[in-house]
C-alpha cells in the first residue's frame, strides 16, 4: 500500500517545481527511473564497461539521452513562451495604434 501511495505522489516530470525558466533536474527521480543504483552495482560486479572503454555503455547513453530530452523540452518551453509574448506584444501594439489613429 505504501508503494502505491509513493507512486501516486510521484511527479510526472524529471525537474523540480520552480519559477526558473530552466529548472534543475530532479536527480533522485532520474536515478530512480533509470535504476542507476542497481545497474551501477551490477556493472561494477561485472567490471562493465572496462576502464579502457572509449564509448558510453547503455546506462550512460540512457542518462545522456534523458538529459538531452529535458534540455529539448526546456528549450521548447522557452520558444513557446517567446512566441506567446511576441503575439501578445504585437496584438497590444496593434490595438494601441488603432485607438490613437481614430479621429476625434
Number of helices (H), then strands (E), belonging to the chain: the values are 4, 0
Residue 15: φ, ψ to 5°: -125, 160
| % pLDDT > 90, the chain | 21
Cα dist from 67 to 15, 62, 87, whole Å: 11, 9, 30
Would the CA dihedral through 84, 26, 1, 36 be positive or negative? positive
Sequence-ordered list of residues with C-beta below 8 angstroms from that of 61, at least 6 positions apart, any chain: none
**pTM of the full predicted structure?**
0.60
Average pLDDT, the chain: 78
- Helix, strand, coil shares of the chain, percent, nearest 5, are 65, 0, 30
Range of weakest confidence among 12-21, 44-53, 90-99: 12-21
Residue 15: pLDDT above 60? Answer: no
Amino acid at each position: 500500500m505504501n508503494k502505491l501511495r509513493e507512486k501516486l505522489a510521484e511527479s510526472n516530470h524529471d525537474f523540480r517545481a520552480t519559477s526558473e525558466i530552466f529548472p534543475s533536474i530532479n536527480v533522485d527521480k532520474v536515478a530512480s527511473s533509470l535504476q542507476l543504483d542497481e545497474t551501477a552495482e551490477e556493472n561494477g560486479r561485472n567490471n562493465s564497461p572496462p576502464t579502457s572503454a572509449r564509448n558510453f555503455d547503455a546506462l550512460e547513453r540512457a542518462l545522456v539521452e534523458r538529459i538531452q530530452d529535458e534540455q529539448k523540452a526546456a528549450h521548447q518551453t522557452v520558444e513557446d513562451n517567446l512566441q506567446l509574448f511576441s503575439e501578445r506584444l504585437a496584438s497590444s501594439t496593434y490595438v494601441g495604434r488603432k485607438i490613437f489613429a481614430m479621429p476625434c
